[in-house]
Structure 1
């Protein structure tokens, strides 16, 4: 592995990732929103904290490595992917904090089933928006710094890249399909007529799907779905091998965090249950984690004498 001088812009991306990770971690603990008079907070226990810190800790670790100048294109690849996915999420958050009262609907936020009749932003929402904005800025700077950062290897991953790209594309399509539906939903209710004993299934209004929200949220959902599929296809082609590792890691972290959040919401409330798309999201997240590990370990299998 050949690593040239790490430019200042690359280290600046590391600083932005560190700040984004710290702010995102801090955002998990205070009240997120006050919806219809109900205070919503993502963290109420140790398990909630572990789920909420998955993405911030990964971002912080990658940022520290990039700030120190270690394998810079891994950090730049991660930043580019994470920032691309953060654009849609940022628009959805802006809608959630300001526009969701235009068309009040049932939402599941941090396991709480609430109606967006009124929404007041709190510290958690503000910190979350700041963290997403820092991540988007890190992606912009990473794209500028990519061509100025010298990092090459012997091309040991090249024979595997077509297979990686094909598998990532298939998983990316599956991830978009799973992400389009709620990972935690309100189950149907069975009502029994006391006079006849006839059981009737009553459909209860559940959280809005990714592409069912209007305005900024709809645009954010479309951008998120498109960016996810695009990043899944492009990440395996990043050079050198550790650049591809960084891109795949960015996708894996996002999907695993989203899947675990849905599982946490279902576990916290008796009103909602984990859905098949939520389980599918966890499967594709683990699939991307497997591709990341494969790309990471491929050096040891092919060229054991080369040090990364």
Structure 2
């Protein structure tokens, strides 16, 4: 008992194992001390300001899709070379060579886009983007192929039927030139690429995170409107002429008329189908392929009208120049829509 009384008493503690004089540990709920910043919690962190991007997944690419890409590269060369060759010969003159370099410029965007898409498909990179470009370009080429075939019937056609500029317009017969046959082959190869695209689309694996799905209905409505406007533009007469050689689709005859109707229908189909294609890059590619092909047609017609003394600009001339720009606006909309950050609900 005496030893217990002489033992010094232990100092009082606020918590077990800690002296009373020690500073109490600050609880997590206490406000932070001056000079120190409290780390942000999950709820207090600011929203991400980085632009949203698609998460692309690429899987199996069938051989038929790669074959479509090879055909696309071949077509790109044809789109550039065709305007440099004479369409026909008549009376010892080569027709369609008065402004070859100028005529080649409208088709430069189409050649670059189709060639680049062909390279992507052939190497298996972003395959559905590439197949979208080749599919729409091939769809529009069906009508062009029929029109080019119509011009090869030299026994029934005259110089007035040729889309040439800088040449005296006469009613003479003509012989098919290298440019005309090159146009037929290029359009036929693009149609073959379309068939390969249709056969390989479902087995080509490429998808994204679905961020673009929320704007597909809106884009579909605008695409339907633009498709109808563009169809009217390319169905009208491309120019005015006192000789009566500028005809609308309904005023033409034979394969020329069928080709024009198929071209107009293909424009509408491309604009309607594009918003439903997955992933988003497939939508962008489908619209881009249609835009560059229409750009080549519209601006080539503008060059022809400007270089011919017997052709004058009309509603169709201006409409064919404006129409591809409307489709390019849809392309821009499909690109910008994916850059908007997804909102949390």
TM-score bucket (shorter structure): 0.7 to 0.9
Mapping for residues 80-99 of structure 1, pairs under 5 Å: 80-98=135-153
Residues 227 and 141 (structure 1), Cα distance of their counterparts in 2 relative to 1, 3 Å cut: same
CA distance in 2, matches of 1:103, 1:16: 31
Write the deviation string for residues 164-216 of structure 1: whole angstroms up to 9, x where unpaired.
Answer: 11111111111111111233332xxxxxxxxxxxxxxxx54232323322222
Distance 2:203 2:135 in 1: 15
Q: Give the Å deviation of 1:118.
A: 1.1
- C-alpha distance in structure 1 between counterparts of 2:90 and 2:340, whole Å: 53
Aligned runs of 1:142-291 on 2, under 5 Å? Answer: 142-186=197-241, 203-291=242-330
Q: Please give the per-residue CA displacement for 1:251-278, whole angstroms capped at 9, x wherever unaligned.
A: 2112211111121112222332222222
Does the 8 A contact of 2:143 with 2:262 survive in 1? yes
Q: Given that residues 141 and 187 in structure 2 are in contact (C-alpha distance below 8 angstroms), is that contact kept between their aligned partners in structure 1?
A: yes
Partner residue, 1:139: 194
Structure 1 residue 38, shift from structure 2 partner: 4.5
Structure 1: 5+ residue stretches without partners: 187-202, 304-308
1:241–1:266 distance in 2 versus 1, CA, 3 Å = same
Q: Which has the larger radius of gyration?
A: 2
Aligned-residue RMSD, C-alpha = 2.2
Q: Is it true that 1:301 corresponds to 2:340 in the alignment?
A: yes
Structure with the larger strand share: 1
Moved more, 272-281 or 134-143: 272-281
Runs of 4+ with >6 A deviation: none
Residue 17 of structure 1 contacts residue 63 of structure 1 at CA under 8 Å; is this kept in 2? Answer: yes
Out of 65, 80, 85, the residue aligned to residue 10 of structure 1 is: 65
Moved more, 134-143 or 222-231: 222-231
Per-residue deviation, residues 56-91 of structure 1 (Å, max 9, x unmatched): 222112111222222100111111211111111101
Structure 1-normalised TM-score? 0.85
1:122-144: CA deviations, max 9, x gaps?
A: 11111111111110000001011
Which of the pair is proportionally richer in helix?
Answer: 1
2:73 paired with 1:34: no
Rounded to whole Å, the distance in 2 between the matches of 1:32 and 1:241 is 39
Aligned match of 2:22 = none
5+ residue gaps, structure 2, are 1-55
Equivalences, count: 287
User: 1:72·1:151 contact (CA, 8 Å) conserved in 2?
Assistant: yes
Q: Is the 8 A contact 2:86 2:96 kept in 1?
A: yes
